Every structure is written in C-alpha cells, then in structure tokens.
C-alpha cells in the first residue's frame, strides 16, 4: 500500500511529479478503511468517492458520526489593518456584522454580478480572516487587494481539516475533552487545547445536520484522528467519501460549484453564469451596506428588472432520479428549465432534485414536469414525472441548530 509521508505530501518535493497528486495528512488513516479503491482528484489532492458503500456511509452522517477529509479545500489567510474593509469590498454580505469567533457563509461575484464561487469566511481575530472555498481564489484576491493594507496568502497545504458530521458528533467531542463544545451555536468557531498546539473547531458543515469542522496543523492530523476514534469507539464512527456527502448535501438543498453553477470566471458561453439571486442566495446580498462591493451595480439592476432564473427544490414523483432532466411547464409542454442535482433522499424518503426554471415559473407549491431518462439492462427508458416545488429542504432537522445538542 502506498504510504503518504511529509515528503510526498509537499508541493515542493522534487519527486512530486512522479505521483502528480498531493496526499492529505489524513490519507494513511483513510486508506485503512478503503475497500473499493475509488478516488478522484480534488484540486491537487486525491480524495475518495467511497470507501465501502455510499449508502452505509450516508447513514453514518444521519445516524451516528462521519469523517470527511476537507483538506483539499482552498484556504486563504487575510490579515492586516484593512482586513475588514477588504472583505466587505469583496463580498456582498455585510461583513461588519460578523464578529470575532463567528463564521459566515457567502458568495462572491464578478463585476457583472455573476457568482465566482461560494464558501465560508472565519473571523479568527479583529484583523484576520480565513477564507475557504472549493475553487482556487488567489487571482481573485490579487485583483481586489489593490489599495488595501492587508497581507494575503494561500494556506491550503498548511492546514489539515475534516468535516465531522452527525448526531453523535457533539457527544464524541465532549468525550475527547473539548470543554463546553456543546455551548457552541451554529456558525460559532473556537480554539481548543490539543497536543501540538491549539486546534480550531467550527460548528459548520455541508450536510444540513448537526456537525463540526476541525482545523489543525498537518502534524496534528493523525493524532486528531486517533483521538476521535478513541472518544467515539462506542458510536459507530465512520470515514466517508464524496458520494455519501453528495446525497446529504442535495437532501439539505445545498448547491455545489461546477455542479449547480459554473464559476463565472470559467464560464465561456453567454448567459450560463448565475447571480446570487438566481442561486437562491439573495439573502446574502446587502445592497444598502454602504460599500460598493463587486457586482453591486449589476445586482441593483437585476433587483429592479428581475432575474432570469429561479433556483428550485423539487419533490419528484416516483423513484427514478431526475438526473440531468429537462423541466417543462406541463407533460409534453414547453421547456422551462433543467435539473442540476438529483438523488433519492434516504432519510427524508423522497425523490428530490435541485434545478433552475425560467422566471416567473417555480414558485413554492407550483407543479413542473421532469422528462427523466434512465437505463435498465443497457436499454434507455423515458418517463414523465410530476414535480412539486418545495419551500424548504427535504432534510432540515431541529438538531442542526439546537444548542446545546442532545446526546444521541
């Protein structure tokens, strides 16, 4: 079995070209649970699609506790006297409302008001932030930093991180000795003592459930893993791959870059990029915050004239996932949109989809129709399915925000 070391993890390693990928500091621990050898590239790193079975892994998220390696996420440290002003200029959210010790979900736009990416911003000090996103953002930061008294750097390879999700996670962290972790509210972040130095824990995640993300130095990764497994030995703790996480995030109604939207700086064809309003993120946009943030002029115009598309969450008739389906105003009717993500939601017990329809279609309670194609024994079949536009995600349990969480 390949064994990752400090040397073959580093982008500066002279032998790095031989593997063409980076290995997370958690790689050796994850590999011990790998039965199927199904991995893919996430940026420069290798990450598992599944380790055993996506359904079993999914139920660890919903019924016990799961570990997903998020080390490959792009991470940027922004600090300096103008750090707050810079973040407020870059992002459509009012960053003056995000105090130290809090995390903000947000998106950021180009000058046309189209979304470049979404992610989370951690305010770790009065003049310091950590920006985390799926895609690489250094060029975006470079273009926007002109005139601000800040320092910014990519720290992706310096910080190892896991997403620790599920109803048992708080209990396991308490067992691990993280004092008063149960008092953390959703989107709180705190620092806790741990061998080798403080670790950062945030009550955040991508599953729509109770969960945390844990951020450590690379040499703390394996000790953290061992500590979690010792504290969670009675709770069926399980590492998971991206396929299980995908089911959970669709069930929770959460969007993904390069799946539900194309980053505007990578979109070639006119009209294919989307604004925050068209992604269902209008609540993030604060046009009146007193700062001319990126895309503000275009977003004001869109607010006045209306958006082109509406993001919809769909309850789909039947049990055939509506993957890549076109959406119609009626059966055999006019095309009004398409499905971007689809899955059977095991806990919600619904066939669900995320997608986009042309305005003014897609209000909550509306009915649209999906033309679904599926394959059985190499033969393609077509079925029409009625879809109801949902107002809420298929999965949105009280425990996601309950403070303190109940011991499960």
Has residue 8 got a pLDDT over 90? no
Instruction: Give me the residue label for tokens 């095991």.
Output: 346
- 104 forms beta bridges with 121
The closest of 242, 287, 279, 239 to 263, measured between CA atoms, is: 279
Instruction: Supply the mean pLDDT for the chain.
Output: 94
In a shared domain, residues 146 and 170: yes
Q: What percent of the chain has pLDDT over 70?
A: 95
Tell me, yes or no, whether 111 and 226 share the same domain. Answer: yes
Non-local CB neighbours of 309 within 8 Å, separated by 6+ positions: 274, 278, 337, 356, 357, 358, 359
Alpha-carbon separation of residue 183 from 17, 166, 396, 401, 405 (angstroms):
46, 17, 20, 11, 8
User: Which of 307, 339, 372 is the C-terminal boundary of a domain?
Assistant: 307
Q: Give pLDDT, residue 1.
A: 44
Looking at the structure, tell me whether residues 300 and 314 fall in a common domain: no
- 294-333 pLDDT, tens digit each: 999 999 999 999 999 999 999 999 999 999 999 999 999 9
Q: Is 391 exposed, middle or buried (0-12, 13-18, 19+ CB in 10 A)?
A: exposed
Do 136 and 162 reside in the same domain of the chain? yes
Q: Is residue 403 part of a domain?
A: no
**Is residue 354 situated within a structural domain?**
yes
In this prediction, residue 304 carries a pLDDT of 96
**Statement to judge: residues 336 and 297 lie in one domain:** no
Using alpha carbons, select from 192, 48, 80 the residue that is nearest to residue 147. 80
Mean predicted confidence (pLDDT) in 364-382? 96
Domain's final residue, options 278, 307, 336: 307
3-state class of 67 per DSSP? strand
pLDDT for residue 152: 96
Residues 163 and 268 in one domain: yes
* CATH at 248: 3.30.1360.120
155 contacts 122 by C-beta, under 8 angstroms: no
Of 255, 283, 307, the last residue of a domain is 307
Residues 208-231 pLDDT 10s: 999 999 999 999 999 999 999 999
Collapsing DSSP to helix, strand or coil, 326 comes out as: strand
Rounded Cα–Cα distance for residues 23 and 27 (Å): 6
Coil, strand or helix at 239:
strand
The structure's pTM equals: 0.92
Residue 249, both tokens? 């995030």
Tell me the average pLDDT across 108-134: 96
Do 328 and 241 sit in the same domain of this protein?
A: no
Q: Which of 11-25, 69-83, 91-105 has the lowest mean pLDDT?
A: 11-25
> Which is it for strands 309-316 and 379-390: parallel, antiparallel or unpaired?
antiparallel
Q: Which domain holds residue 215?
A: 1-307
**The domain that contains 333 carries what CATH number?**
2.40.30.110
Question: Are 168 and 77 contained in the same domain?
Answer: yes
Instruction: Give yes or no: residues 56 and 185 share one domain.
Output: yes
Q: Do 347 and 362 sit in the same domain of this protein?
A: yes
Statement to judge: residues 303 and 345 lie in one domain: no
Domain count along the chain? 2
Do 273 and 338 sit in the same domain of this protein?
no
Q: Specify the range with the lowest mean pLDDT, choosing from 15-19, 34-38, 265-269.
A: 15-19
């Amino acid at each position: 079995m390949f064994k990752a070391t400090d040397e073959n993890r580093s982008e500066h390693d002279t032998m790095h070209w031989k593997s063409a990928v980076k290995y997370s500091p958690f790689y050796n621990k994850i590999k011990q649970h790998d039965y199927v050898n199904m991995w893919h590239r996430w940026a420069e790193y290798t990450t598992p699609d599944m380790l055993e079975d996506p359904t079993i892994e999914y139920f660890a998220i919903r019924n016990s506790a799961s570990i997903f390696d998020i080390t490959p996420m792009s991470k940027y440290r922004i600090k300096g006297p103008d750090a707050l002003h810079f973040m407020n200029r870059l992002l459509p959210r009012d960053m003056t409302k995000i105090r130290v010790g809090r995390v903000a979900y947000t998106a950021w736009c180009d000058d046309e008001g189209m979304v470049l990416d979404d992610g989370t911003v951690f305010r770790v000090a009065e003049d310091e932030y950590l920006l985390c996103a799926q895609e690489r953002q250094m060029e975006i930061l470079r273009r926007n930093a002109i005139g601000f008294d800040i320092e910014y750097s990519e720290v992706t390879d310096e910080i190892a991180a896991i997403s620790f999700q599920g109803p048992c996670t708080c209990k396991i962290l308490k067992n691990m000795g993280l004092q008063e972790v149960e008092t953390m509210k959703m989107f709180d972040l705190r620092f806790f003592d741990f061998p080798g130095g403080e670790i950062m824990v945030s009550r955040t995640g991508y599953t729509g459930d109770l969960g945390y993300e844990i951020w450590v130095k690379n040499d703390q990764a394996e000790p953290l893993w061992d500590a979690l497994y010792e504290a969670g030995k009675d709770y069926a703790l399980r590492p998971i791959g991206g396929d299980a996480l995908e089911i959970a995030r669709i069930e929770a109604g959460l969007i993904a870059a390069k799946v539900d939207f194309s980053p505007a700086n990578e979109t070639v064809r006119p009209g294919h990029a989307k604004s925050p309003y068209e992604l269902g993120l209008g609540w993030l946009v604060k046009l009146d915050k007193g700062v001319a943030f990126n895309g503000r002029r275009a977003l004001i115009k869109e607010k006045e004239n209306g958006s082109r598309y509406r993001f919809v969450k769909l309850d789909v008739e039947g049990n055939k996932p509506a993957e890549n389906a076109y959406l119609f105003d009626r059966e055999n009717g006019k095309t009004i949109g398409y499905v971007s993500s689809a899955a059977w939601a095991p806990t919600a017990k619904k066939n669900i989809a995320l997608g986009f329809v042309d305005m003014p279609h897609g209000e909550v309670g509306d009915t649209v129709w999906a033309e679904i194609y599926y394959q059985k024994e190499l033969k393609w079949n077509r079925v029409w399915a009625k879809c109801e536009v949902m107002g809420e995600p298929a999965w949105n349990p009280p425990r996601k925000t309950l403070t303190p969480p109940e011991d499960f």
